[in-house]
């Protein structure tokens, strides 16, 4: 088992600025085969934009992805972890907040991302299964 977040994270993840148009974020996600992008403001992590944010807040609202900025639609609740924390703590954060990707921040700077896929590569099948189950459980709002 990987002992720390640093052992499992992907270093130097792609990111985007808050003023960038959503279409640029979507293209970058497509090119990189990723589902989210950290949003930086002068090297400081200020948010995350996901493919789901784009779908629910741009496409579903018929907003123009060329003129809508990443800052207008990104997820407001920012959950992150420090690289020297135990991987178990990151797993608990991911499960509690039902997120598949967790930015890794050190001294206010983005240094990596730990994703559900990273956990699958470093953990045993039981731990991976538990994480997927916790992340995928429907939230209270989705059950109604």
Scanning 14-137, the segments in alpha helix (DSSP H) are 22-32, 51-54, 70-73, 87-97, 116-122, 125-136
Q: How many CA atoms lie within 13 A of 70 on its CB side?
A: 26
Our CA angle for 54, 110, 32, nearest 5°, is 45
Q: 0.85 cut: is pTM over it?
A: no
Q: For the chain, count helices (H), then strands (E).
A: 8, 6
Angstrom distance (rounded) from CA 118 to CA 44? 23
Q: Are strands 101-106 and 10-11 parallel, antiparallel or unpaired?
A: unpaired
pLDDT digits (tens, 9 = 90+) for 72-117: 998 778 899 999 999 888 888 988 888 888 999 999 899 999 988 7
Per-residue pLDDT reduced to its tens digit, 115-140 = 887 776 665 556 656 655 655 566 55
Q: Are 66 and 20 in contact (CB under 8 A)?
A: no
């Amino acid at each position: 088992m990987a002992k720390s977040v640093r052992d499992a994270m992907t270093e130097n993840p792609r990111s985007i600025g808050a003023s960038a148009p959503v279409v640029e974020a979507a293209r970058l996600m497509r090119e990189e085969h990723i589902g989210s992008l950290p949003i930086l403001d002068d090297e400081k992590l200020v948010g995350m934009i996901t493919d789901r944010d784009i779908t629910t807040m741009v496409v579903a609202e018929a907003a123009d992805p060329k003129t809508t900025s990443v800052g207008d639609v990104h997820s407001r609740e920012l959950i992150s972890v420090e690289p020297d924390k135990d991987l178990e703590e990151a797993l608990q954060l991911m499960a509690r907040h039902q997120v598949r990707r967790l930015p890794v921040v050190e001294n206010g700077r983005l240094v990596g991302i730990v994703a559900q896929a990273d956990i699958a590569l470093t953990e045993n099948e039981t731990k991976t299964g538990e994480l997927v189950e916790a992340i995928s459980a429907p939230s209270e709002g989705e059950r109604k």
